[in-house]
């Protein structure tokens, strides 16, 4: 009975961690989003049984989509615009 409780706790913990990693990767701060998506990829690769493909695909797809013309151009940490001219 003890093993089942530990397995259940591990599943709950991984589910909570996956929600946190996904939430962080969805953030709109461009300087923060890249590293957060990279961490999401490492997490998803390490825990393939969670099947995070659909959620990860949507996040990455929206991150690499072309910027709207009305979207504000934000400079990165080095003072250079992230927007291509």
DSSP summary character for residue 44: H
Band the pLDDT of 85: cuts 50, 70, 90: very low
- Give me the pLDDT at residue 77, please: 64
- Give me the pLDDT at residue 78, please: 66
Question: pLDDT tens digit string along 16-74?
Answer: 999 999 999 999 888 889 999 999 999 999 988 888 999 999 999 988 887 666 555 56
User: How many angstroms separate the Cα of 68 from the Cα of each of 21, 35, 43, 64, 65?
Assistant: 26, 22, 30, 12, 9
Residue 75, beta-bridge partner list = 81
Rounded-to-integer distance, Cα 33 and Cα 24, Å: 8
- Tokens 């992230």 -> residue: 82
């Amino acid at each position: 009975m003890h093993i089942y409780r530990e397995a259940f706790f591990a599943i709950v913990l991984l589910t909570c961690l996956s929600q946190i990693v996904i939430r962080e990767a969805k953030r709109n701060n461009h300087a923060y989003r890249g590293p957060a998506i990279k961490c999401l990829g490492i997490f998803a690769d390490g825990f393939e049984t969670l099947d995070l493909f659909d959620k990860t695909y949507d996040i990455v797809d929206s991150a690499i989509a072309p910027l709207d013309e009305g979207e504000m151009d934000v400079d990165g940490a080095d003072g250079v615009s992230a927007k291509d001219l």
